[in-house]
């Protein structure tokens, strides 16, 4: 088709190793601060299923939601981003999830 270029395959970020690592780090921070999912949800003004869904990978957080979660839990949002960047770099492919492209 004229005017349409096929972009290289990029896996959805919710299914990448990098996203799994972010979810794991969020759970670790919540537990390190002695908080339950319902407690975090209450601080966010959300139902407990909101926290469960992003921790299980059923829902993605946008950057503003991530900042809200960091504030609710009580950690510096930059800390987890630095960990992810050191482990996976800044590449757009989200790490190795078995897909090639």
Instruction: Evaluate whether 67 touches 77 at the Cβ level (below 8 Å).
Output: yes
Q: Domains in the chain, start-ordered, CATH in brackets? A: 36-90 (1.10.260.40)
* Residue 28, H or E segment: helix 17-32
pLDDT given at position 94: 46
Dist. CA 64–CA 36, nearest whole Å:
21
pLDDT given at position 96: 46
pTM recorded for the entire structure: 0.76
Encoded tokens for 56: 């299980």
What digits encode the pLDDT tens for the residues 34-71?
A: 999 999 999 999 999 999 999 999 999 999 999 999 99
pLDDT given at position 89: 86
């Amino acid at each position: 088709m004229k005017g349409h270029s096929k972009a290289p395959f990029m896996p959805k970020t919710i299914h990448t190793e990098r996203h799994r690592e972010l979810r794991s780090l969020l759970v670790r921070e919540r537990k390190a601060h002695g908080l339950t999912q319902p407690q975090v949800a209450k601080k966010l003004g959300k139902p407990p299923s909101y926290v469960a869904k992003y921790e299980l990978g059923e829902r993605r957080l946008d950057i503003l939601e991530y900042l809200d979660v960091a504030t609710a839990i009580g950690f510096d949002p930059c800390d987890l981003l630095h960990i992810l960047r050191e482990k996976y770099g800044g590449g757009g492919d989200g790490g190795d999830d078995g897909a090639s492209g």
